[in-house]
Amino acid sequence: MKKKIYRSRNDKKLAGVCAGFAEYFGIDATIVRLLFAFFVLWAGTGVLAYIVCALVIPEAPENNSGDGYTPYTDVNG
């Protein structure tokens, strides 16, 4: 199955973009959030990138099984 990126439903601060990238790459969401903050302060590009990602990247599908599993939980779990 091909791996897809989604905005996180569980670990979101604003729209779940940073947590979605973290789940996709298997790293801590705090690192991704710090990188976005760096790009906001450095050149202002982080704000535009975050807005575009929030609009373009779909939210993770709901899980009907009720076990709390999200697509990449086992990576960061």
Tokens of 18: 């940073």
Tens digit of pLDDT for each residue in 2-58? 888 888 888 778 888 888 989 889 999 999 899 888 888 887 777 888 888 889 988
| Gap between the Cα atoms of 72 and 41, Å rounded | 29
Residues 6 or more apart in contact with residue 17 via CB below 8 angstroms: 7, 36, 50, 53, 54, 57
Is the pLDDT confidence value at 72 over 80? no
* Higher local confidence (pLDDT), 40 or 77: 40
